[in-house]
Amino acid sequence: MSLVQTYDRALVSKIGEGGIDDAAFHAKLEQSREALDWVRSAHANKELALLGYAGKTDDVAAIESAAKTFAEGATDLIFYGTGGSSLGSQALAQLADYNVPGLGVLRDGPRLHFLDNLDPITLDKLFAKLPLETSRFMAVSKSGGTGETLTQVMATISLLQANGHGDHLARHFLGLSEPEAGKKNELRALLEPYGVTFLEHDTGVGGRYSVATNVGLLPAAAAGLDIAAVRNGFMDALKPILDGAEPKDVPAAIGATLAACAADAGKNVSVMMSYADRLERTAAWWVQLWSESLGKDGKGTTPVRALGPVDQHSQLQLHLGGPRDKLFTVVTVGFAGKGPKLDPELAARVGEPVFANKTVGDFAAAEGRATADTLAKNGRPTRTIYIPELNERALGTFLMQFMLETIITARLIGVNAFDQPAVEEGKILAKKYLGEG
């Protein structure tokens, strides 16, 4: 089993006042049956394209081959794309040490740069330092019209042209966007005239769910990960639903039920605290998934991400002593016994004999356990997820569990998990302001 979830410490019966009412939980869990039936039938009828990617193998070789061609001989892989066109691939790439504190810049293989934010100073400095001959750029945008991504791509085309690479843009770039199909697609309009190859974005899968597709998996393959294992992990999370398991035996249904009950009880903040550097980007991915999927019609809860142990020294005081408006998910991995071992003499010298012969992982594991216990003891509803071994399959399971949890939560609270109407207003205004100078 790649994930072990416990939730008894989210309930009043276990933690007392501050917990989620048991009767409300069981009633809501019963309601989740409808959502599970819907997911099962959407899978059978191919109504929700995302679900078809669980366990899918027939496109893996093509994704791996495109990744190989893209990364061949490259020192630097630059990924343009924002939101769902970047965060899922970052979450996966972090398994291959991308953006891991201290280690990210030393990882094996080509350097990975996910430029999901638009910042002129970053771009100027990066452009001045990149070895252009061996740099490859991948531009991802489902719509093809996202201003940030288009801006970065236009700037890069001009950079390459100004530095004598204008005749080889097809070698330097790879695009991924929806097929044109009569619609305007600015990204394709920019790059296709140079002969740049485009992969197709599944039109039925929104950005924040696209980690399941070539959007998430191509960068992961370029980073050297086993993408077939990721797909198997997706199926591990979906299978209990397809098998018709009872809601109590579906981890995503439990998580969604807790979230919906917490919202009903006025606990409007959902905290994911992960004890692993390699889950930091996953939490960032989850923040978009949760926010854009649920935040509508005055509903939704606010996602907060925390990394352990570091954020014990930043957020934990608030979580333990502040308002009782939160539901916690503490994620730990099988760290016990891992990492450097501590010399007993040095442990004695600092007056901490408990450290003697313990590993760094022993301490990190003890801290995750202590945080979950302390939250529960202080009446903070806490679910835990333990990942014995954080690998491609386990991360795939985790990602799919949270996509399903989000979809089920949306059905429980009565919102559409697949649109994001409010975001468009700001986008239109930004282009207006840009035009006004």
Positions that interact with ligand F6P (CB under 6 A): 82-85, 141-143, 146, 149, 207-208, 292, 420, 423
Question: Is the Cβ of residue 143 or residue 359 nearer to ligand F6P in the bound state?
Answer: 143
Catalytic residue check, 377? no
Beta carbon nearer to ligand F6P, 318 or 422? 422
Supply the minimum distance, in Å, between the C-beta of residue 166 and ligand F6P: 25
Segment (H or E) for 177 = strand 173-177
Q: Give the span between the Cα atoms of 236 and 318, in whole angstroms.
A: 35
| Distance in angstroms (rounded) separating the CA atoms of residues 192 and 214 | 19
Of the candidates 178, 186, 280, 292, the residue annotated as catalytic is: 292
Residue from 313, 345, 389, 432 carrying the catalytic annotation: 313
> Closest distance between ligand F6P and the C-beta of residue 186, in Å?
10
- Beta carbon nearer to ligand F6P, 33 or 183: 183
Of residues 84 and 240, the one with the C-beta less far from ligand F6P: 84
Smallest distance from ligand F6P to CB 305, Å: 17
Residues 6+ apart with CB under 8 A from 174: 66, 70, 136, 137, 138, 139, 196, 197, 198, 199
Phi, psi of 46 (to 5 degrees): 55, 40
Q: Which is nearer to ligand F6P, 10 or 140 (CB)?
A: 140
Cβ closest to ligand F6P, residue 9 vs residue 201: 201
Catalytic residue among 46, 184, 427, 431: 427
Helices vs strands, H then E, count in the chain: 17, 10
Pairing of strands 4-6, 382-387: antiparallel
| 96 vs 150, beta carbon nearer ligand F6P | 150
How far apart CA 304 and CA 318 sit, in angstroms, is 12
Burial of 251 by CB count in 10 Å (0-12 exposed, 13-18 middle, 19+ buried)? buried
- Could you tell me the two tokens for 433? 């302001």
The distance of closest approach from Cβ of residue 307 to ligand F6P in the complex, given in angstroms and rounded to an integer, is 23
Strand order in the sheet with 4-6: 4-6, 382-387, 326-333, 269-275, 302-307
Q: Measured from the CB atom, is 93 or 253 closer to ligand F6P?
A: 93
CA 159 to chain centre: 31
Nearest approach in angstroms of CB 431 to ligand F6P is 13
The torsion angles phi and psi of 142, rounded to 5 degrees, stand at -60, -50
State which residue has the least CB distance to ligand F6P.
Answer: 207
Tokens of 23: 């009767």
Minimum distance from CB of 287 to ligand F6P (Å)?
Answer: 12
In the complex, least distance from residue 178 CB atom to ligand F6P, rounded to whole angstroms: 8
Contact residues for 321 (Cβ-Cβ < 8 A; gap 6+): none
CB-based burial of residue 341 (10 Å sphere; 0-12 exposed, 13-18 middle, 19+ buried)?
middle
The reply to whether 292 belongs to the active site is yes
Q: Return the structure tokens found at 269.
A: 């903040």
d(CA 329, CA 302): 13
Cβ-count burial of 371 within 10 angstroms (0-12 exposed, 13-18 middle, 19+ buried)?
A: buried
The least CB distance from residue 187 to ligand F6P, in Å, is 8
Q: Beta strand pairing status for 4-6 and 269-275?
A: unpaired
Please say if 201 is a catalytic residue.
no
**Strand ranges for 207-322 from DSSP E:** 269-275, 302-307
Question: What residues act catalytically?
Answer: 292, 313, 427
